[in-house]
């Protein structure tokens, strides 16, 4: 049957796919719109499978903080190239996914991927369909949902790096400005944990082993290697755990001391640093 421009436009409005893709799908489906939609979706699945191993180094990081400041969600939707990250459909999908996460208070990425958006399809199905339209791999590379006395967010100017910081022990104080400073510290200094007891055992063992090897290479006595390695481990904690890091705006104090100066008992419960690419 003849495929009219009106038919193509109708399918385009239904799916968001390109004009030529819509025309080809309608021709293959002999004008059957439901079958044409299925064809376009299968096209997205094929593109997704073909590009599954491609790197995603562009995209957008979005955050939401609840009105009372006690809950925060952060999501990173990644793609392959910068032009795609600026496409309205890509931005709209990222926002729709975050909105769903907030509305349903979704706890983890796996649950989010299976959640149903306003069009009746899951997040995964929407991502695959957009892959078919844009021709690039799209992926939710990170998602977090945190609750605390107060949650503060920071998004870097590139839009590809974001931080959530969860504070406990606020005791009625507003730590928004302090929180921004701490979040920027996390963005810049990349701590691996809040405090030294949050560093996983494998990392500790590796740092001790490296410290001993360095000391041995420097010709230190074998009996001293363990002690020297423990000293190096202390330096690792100072440089790589948030509360023990020097505050970037005032190197005379640590983040722990900064919190203590702000409010007695104030501490960081957790943080999430989400980055696309670097």
Q: What is the CATH number of the domain that holds 37?
A: 1.10.8.10
Residue 240 placed within a domain: no
Q: Distance (Å, rounded) from C-alpha 75 to C-alpha 140?
A: 7
Residue 48 has pLDDT above 70, yes or no: no
Per-residue pLDDT of 139-157, as tens digits, reads: 999 999 999 999 999 999 9
Q: Which of 59, 23, 37 is nearest to 136 (CA)?
A: 59
Residue 171 placed within a domain: no
Residue 43 placed within a domain: yes
The SS3 of residue 278 is coil
**In sequence order, what DSSP letters do the residues of 45-114 get, joined into one string?**
HHHHHHTTTS---EEEEEEEE-TTSSEEEEEEEEESSHHHHTSHHHHHHHHHHHHHHHHTT--SHHHHHH
Question: Looking at the structure, do residues 68 and 38 belong to the same domain, yes or no?
Answer: no
Max CA separation in the chain (angstroms): 87
Question: Looking at the structure, do residues 22 and 62 belong to the same domain, yes or no?
Answer: no
Q: What pLDDT is attached to residue 24?
A: 83
Both structure tokens of 68:
């009372």
Please give the mean pLDDT across all residues of the chain.
91
The b-or-e profile of 9-37 (16+ CB within 10 A means b, else e) is: eebbeebbbbeebbbbbbbebeeeeeebb
Which residues on adjacent β-strands are paired with residue 116? 122
Q: Distance (Å, rounded) from C-alpha 60 to C-alpha 50?
A: 23
Question: Looking at the structure, do residues 78 and 90 belong to the same domain, yes or no?
Answer: yes
Question: Looking at the structure, do residues 83 and 135 belong to the same domain, yes or no?
Answer: yes
Q: What pLDDT is attached to residue 36?
A: 83
Q: Which of 147, 167, 183 is the last residue of a domain?
A: 147
Q: Distance (Å, rounded) from C-alpha 41 to C-alpha 17?
A: 10
Q: Which of 46, 51, 7 is nearest to 29 (CA)?
A: 7
Question: Looking at the structure, do residues 61 and 141 belong to the same domain, yes or no?
Answer: yes
Question: Looking at the structure, do residues 29 and 100 belong to the same domain, yes or no?
Answer: no
Q: Provide the domain limits for residue 129.
A: 54-147
Q: Distance (Å, rounded) from C-alpha 269 to C-alpha 68?
A: 17
Residue 231 placed within a domain: no
Q: What pLDDT is attached to residue 197?
A: 94
Per-residue pLDDT of 116-135, as tens digits, reads: 999 888 999 899 888 888 88
Q: Which residue has the higher pLDDT, 234 or 36?
A: 234
Question: Looking at the structure, do residues 62 and 33 belong to the same domain, yes or no?
Answer: no
Return the CA Rg of the chain.
25
Q: What pLDDT is attached to residue 187?
A: 96
Question: Looking at the structure, do residues 17 and 92 belong to the same domain, yes or no?
Answer: no
Q: What is the CATH number of the domain that holds 134?
A: 3.30.479.20
Q: Distance of CA 71 to CAs 166, 212, 216, 271, Å?
A: 8, 43, 49, 12
Residue 61 placed within a domain: yes
Q: Which residue has the higher pLDDT, 276 or 33?
A: 276
Residue 94 placed within a domain: yes
Which residues on adjacent β-strands are paired with residue 193? 241
Residue 278 has pLDDT above 90, yes or no: no
Q: What pLDDT is attached to residue 16?
A: 66
Question: Looking at the structure, do residues 115 and 58 belong to the same domain, yes or no?
Answer: yes
Residue 216 has pLDDT above 80, yes or no: yes
Q: Which of 107, 185, 106 is nearest to 152 (CA)?
A: 185
Residue 212 placed within a domain: no
Question: Looking at the structure, do residues 138 and 81 belong to the same domain, yes or no?
Answer: yes
Phi-psi category of residue 59: left, alpha or beta, with phi > 0 → left and psi -120 to 50 → alpha: left
Q: Which of 103, 120, 147 is the last residue of a domain?
A: 147
Q: What pLDDT is attached to residue 45?
A: 65
Of the ranges 32-36, 44-48, 250-254, the best mean pLDDT one:
250-254
Both structure tokens of 108:
């983890």
Residue 47 has pLDDT above 70, yes or no: no
Q: What pLDDT is attached to residue 20?
A: 79
Q: Which residue has the higher pLDDT, 247 or 25?
A: 247
Question: Looking at the structure, do residues 86 and 25 belong to the same domain, yes or no?
Answer: no
Least confident of 120-134, 171-185, 225-239: 120-134
Q: How many domains does the chain have?
A: 2
Total Cβ atoms within 10 A of residue 129: 25
Per-residue pLDDT of 50-72, as tens digits, reads: 677 788 999 999 999 999 999 99
Q: Distance of CA 26 to CAs 6, 7, 30, Å?
A: 12, 8, 6
Q: Which of 35, 50, 65 is the last residue of a domain?
A: 50
Residue 237 placed within a domain: no
């Amino acid at each position: 049957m003849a495929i009219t421009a009106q038919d193509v436009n109708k399918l385009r409005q239904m799916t968001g796919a390109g004009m030529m893709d819509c025309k080809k799908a309608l021709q293959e489906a002999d004008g059957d719109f439901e079958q044409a939609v299925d064809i376009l979706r299968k096209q997205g699945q094929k593109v997704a499978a073909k590009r599954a191993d491609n790197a995603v180094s562009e995209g957008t990081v979005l955050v939401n903080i609840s009105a009372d400041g006690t809950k925060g969600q952060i999501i990173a939707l990644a793609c392959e190239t910068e032009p795609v990250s600026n496409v309205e459909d890509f931005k709209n999908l990222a926002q729709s996914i975050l909105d769903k996460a907030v509305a349903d208070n979704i706890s983890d990425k796996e649950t989010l991927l299976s959640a149903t958006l306003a069009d009746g399809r899951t997040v995964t199905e929407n991502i695959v369909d957009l892959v078919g339209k844009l021709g690039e791999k799209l992926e939710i590379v990170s998602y977090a949902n945190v609750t605390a006395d107060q949650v503060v967010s920071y998004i870097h100017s590139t839009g590809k790096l974001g931080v959530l910081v969860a504070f406990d022990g606020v005791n009625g104080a507003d730590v928004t400005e302090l929180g921004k400073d701490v979040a920027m510290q996390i963005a810049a200094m990349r701590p691996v944990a809040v405090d030294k007891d949050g560093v996983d055992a494998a990392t500790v063992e590796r740092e001790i082993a490296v410290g001993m090897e360095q000391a041995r290479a420097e010709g230190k006595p074998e009996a001293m290697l363990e002690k020297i390695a423990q000293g190096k481990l202390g330096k690792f904690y100072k440089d790589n755990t948030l509360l023990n890091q020097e505050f970037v705006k005032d190197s005379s104090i640590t983040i722990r001391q900064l919190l203590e100066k702000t409010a007695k008992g104030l501490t960081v419960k957790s943080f999430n640093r989400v980055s696309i690419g670097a």
